[in-house]
């Protein structure tokens, strides 16, 4: 069955059209066209907007604002977003990265959405046609969100504070067993002064590892210092089970991989 | 359902068709235009068999709607050989036995072409990365990687 696609020059008009039942927003196509190809009959119409602001990347004053239609490939090659290169290259193969958008990644269900894990660790702000929301609030309500995401903004991490790790069985690229992103700031004596850790695949959407974050404060990044954080890593998680790994396996290996991320 | 017009350049020739809105580029190419070189493998963006080049970028035609390609320049495997002479990548795939059942080959060669267009002398790791979105269930990948490296060497010798 074919889907009717409607293209609008402005986000506002596209958002009005999105109110019709069965209508989904078309970004890069890697989620909604995939769903339609798979026979998801809940998708009967597609809407998109070609407003230029959706494709813009603006970096100034230590802040980055990335339009929702910007692709993973465009982020990867942007000279001022080098800190995120590892996280953005974790998404898909080259063709997927040329298509998949940052806006779409916010909606990708686990085991997908590795870049949204990085955005959660970066404490990003999601702008929609309806206003701005902290990413955590946005992710919690994303299933019912009908406002088109226009951009994602965040403070660029200070040099050396952002870490990212994706675990997959297939090399060099495969679906996530899990992914971890962290922004760690250290005091002059090397102890952790602030920590934000986000996990992918440890719930149906990216989540914070709050217990581990708390357990890291005031500690040094060595085997003894991180032990309490590793012990608390799975607190509050509800990992997914899929053909890649069971929930049990994901919970078992999370502390191991968090330890590797913290000690590198 | 109302038909929508699409017009793009396919392998250097102008194509104009009326299609059903929401038709994927893969279906438009295969069923309307008759270019069956992109293959429909998974229709999920996982296998890479439908890979095409749109305005110089590698894309998956199964997840691209044809009407979003209006005005674009599209290259498929059919456009690589010139007056019966195989493209160096096609030659190398034959010479190194990088094709068994052949289903992944169009996508592999298209992905490799994009790599060589930007990186004429890639390292082995760069080849592996460039082909990481393409699945082959026959060869074990090694002959394919060798084919791409062989084609890159052949290109650089011709250029020298």
Our CA-based measurement puts residue A260 at a distance from the nearest CA of chain B, in whole angstroms, of: 23
Which pLDDT belongs to residue A121?
Answer: 98
Between chains, do A4 and B1 touch, taking CB under 8 Å as contact?
Answer: yes
Region A123-127: mean pLDDT is: 98
A6, A36, A40, A93, best to mutate vs chain B, most B CBs in 10 Å: A93
Q: Flag if B58 and A98 touch (Cβ within 8 Å).
A: yes
Q: What is the pLDDT of residue B157?
A: 83
pLDDT over 90 for what percent of chain A? 93
- Interior CA angle at A67 toward A98 and A63, to 5°? 115
Residues of B in contact with A94 (CB under 8 A): 58, 111, 114, 129-130, 132-133
Mean per-residue pLDDT for A158-163? Answer: 94
Nearest to B44 among A37, A46, A94 (CB): A37
Cβ contact B59:A98 at 8 Å: yes
The separation between the first and the last C-alpha atoms of chain A, rounded to the nearest angstrom, is 50
pTM of the model: 0.95
As assigned by CATH, the class of the B3-79 domain is alpha beta
**Cα distance from B153 to chain A (closest Cα, Å)?**
23
Tell if the CB–CB gap between A98 and B134 is shorter than 8 Å: no
Residue A74: which of A83, A59, A85 has the closest Cα? A85
Closest approach of chain B CAs to the CA of A138, in angstroms? 26
At B11 the three-state DSSP class reads: coil
Dihedral (Cα; A185, A119, A139, A19), 10-degree rounding: 150
Tell me how far CA of residue B33 lies from CA of A162, B26, B65, B74, in angstroms. Answer: 48, 10, 15, 13
Cα(B45)–Cα(B134) distance, rounded to whole angstroms?
9
pLDDT of A118: 98
pLDDT of residue B138: 96
Place A205 in a pLDDT band, splitting at 50, 70 and 90. very high
What residues form DSSP beta bridges with B59? B52
Predicted ipTM of the assembly: 0.95
Look at residue A52 in the predicted model and tell me its pLDDT: 97
Residue A1 vs residues A5, A41, A54, A78: alpha-carbon distances, Å: 13, 9, 29, 38
- Identify the closest residue of chain A to B43 by CA–CA distance: A37
Q: What are the DSSP calls for A105-134, one per residue?
A: HTTPPTTS-HHHHHHHHTT-EEEETTEEEE
Burial of B101 (0-12, 13-18, 19+ CB in 10 A): exposed
pLDDT for position B1: 64
B3-79 matches B88-159 in fold = no
Q: Round to whole Å and give the CA distance between A148 and A137.
A: 15
Query: What token pair was written down for A149?
Result: 């995401």
Cβ neighbours around A109 below 10 Å, total: 12
Size of interface A-B (CB pairs under 8 A): 85
The closest of B71, B39, B67, B43 to B52, measured between CA atoms, is: B39
Residue A204 is predicted with a pLDDT of 96
- Compute the mean pLDDT over every residue in chain A, rounded to the nearest whole number: 96
Which chain B residue lies closest to A33 (C-alpha atoms)? Answer: B63
Under 8 Å between Cβ of A192 and A218: yes
- What's the full length of chain B, in residues? 160
CA quadruple A47, A53, A57, A63: dihedral, nearest 10: -110
Phi/psi at B82 (5° precision): -120, 125
* CB contact (8 A) between residue B45 and residue A2: no
**The pLDDT of residue A178 is above 80:** yes
- Closest-CA residue to B47 (of A177, A92, A115): A92
β-partners of residue A47 are A6, A25
User: What residue ranges of chain B have pLDDT lower than 70?
Assistant: 1, 160
In CATH, what class is B88-159?
A: mainly alpha
In the prediction, which pLDDT does A2 show?
Answer: 59
Rounded-to-integer distance, Cα B92 and Cα B24, Å: 31
Closest-CA residue in chain B for A32? B63
- Mean pLDDT (whole number) for A34-40: 93
Cβ pair B63:A33 closer than 8 A? yes
Do A73 and A92 touch, CB atoms closer than 8 A? no
According to the model, what pLDDT value does residue A264 have? 86
Q: What is the pLDDT of residues A216-242, one digit of tens each?
A: 999 999 999 999 999 999 999 999 999
Residue B76 near chain A (CB below 8 Å) = no
CB contact under 8 A, A96 and B62: no
Does any CB of chain B come closer than 8 Å to the CB of residue A173?
yes
Residue B8 has a CB neighbour count (10 Å cut-off) of 22
For chain B, domain boundaries: 3-79, 88-159
Helix (H) or strand (E) run with residue B74 in it: strand B73-75
């Amino acid at each position: 069955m074919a889907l009717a696609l409607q293209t609008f020059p402005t986000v506002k008009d596209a958002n009005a059209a999105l109110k019709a039942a069965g209508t989904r927003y078309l970004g890069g196509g890697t989620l909604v066209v995939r769903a339609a190809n798979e026979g998801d009959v809940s998708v009967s119409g597609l809407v998109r907007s070609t407003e230029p602001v959706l494709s813009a990347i603006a970096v100034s004053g230590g802040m980055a604002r990335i339009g929702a239609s910007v692709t993973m490939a465009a982020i990867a090659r942007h000279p001022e977003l080098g800190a995120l290169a590892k996280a953005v290259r974790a998404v898909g193969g080259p063709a997927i990265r040329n298509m998949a958008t940052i806006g779409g990644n916010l909606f990708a269900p686990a085991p997908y959405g590795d870049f949204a894990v990085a955005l959660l660790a970066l404490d990003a702000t999601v702008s929609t046609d309806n206003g701005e929301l902290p990413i955590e609030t946005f992710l919690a309500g994303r299933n019912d969100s009908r406002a088109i995401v226009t951009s994602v903004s965040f403070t660029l991490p200070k040099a050396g504070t952002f870490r990212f790790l994706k675990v997959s069985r297939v090399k060099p690229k495969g679906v996530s067993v899990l992914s971890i992103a962290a922004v760690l700031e250290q005091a002059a004596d090397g102890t952790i002064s602030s920590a934000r850790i986000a996990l992918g695949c440890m719930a149906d959407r990216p989540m914070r590892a709050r217990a581990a974050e708390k357990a890291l404060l005031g500690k040094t990044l060595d085997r003894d210092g991180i032990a309490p954080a590793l012990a608390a890593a799975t607190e509050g998680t509800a990992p997914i089970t899929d053909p890649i790994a069971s929930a049990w396996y994901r919970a078992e290996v999370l502390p191991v991989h968090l330890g590797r991320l913290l000690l590198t | 359902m109302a038909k929508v017009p699409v017009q793009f350049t396919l392998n250097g020739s102008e194509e104009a068709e009326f299609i059903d809105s929401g038709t994927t580029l893969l279906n438009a190419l295969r069923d309307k235009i008759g270019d069956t070189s992109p293959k429909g493998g998974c229709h999920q963006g996982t296998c890479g068999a439908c890979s095409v080049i749109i305005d110089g970028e590698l894309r998956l035609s199964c997840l691209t709607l044809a009407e979003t390609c209006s005005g674009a320049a599209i290259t498929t495997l059919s456009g690589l050989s010139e007056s019966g002479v195989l493209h160096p990548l096609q030659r190398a795939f034959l010479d190194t036995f990088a094709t068994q059942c052949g289903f992944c080959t169009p996508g592999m060669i298209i992905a490799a072409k994009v790599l060589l267009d930007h990186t004429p002398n890639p390292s082995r790791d760069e080849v592996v990365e460039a082909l990481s979105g393409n699945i082959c269930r026959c060869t074990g990948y090694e002959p394919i990687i060798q084919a791409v490296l062989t084609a890159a060497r052949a290109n650089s010798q011709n250029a020298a």
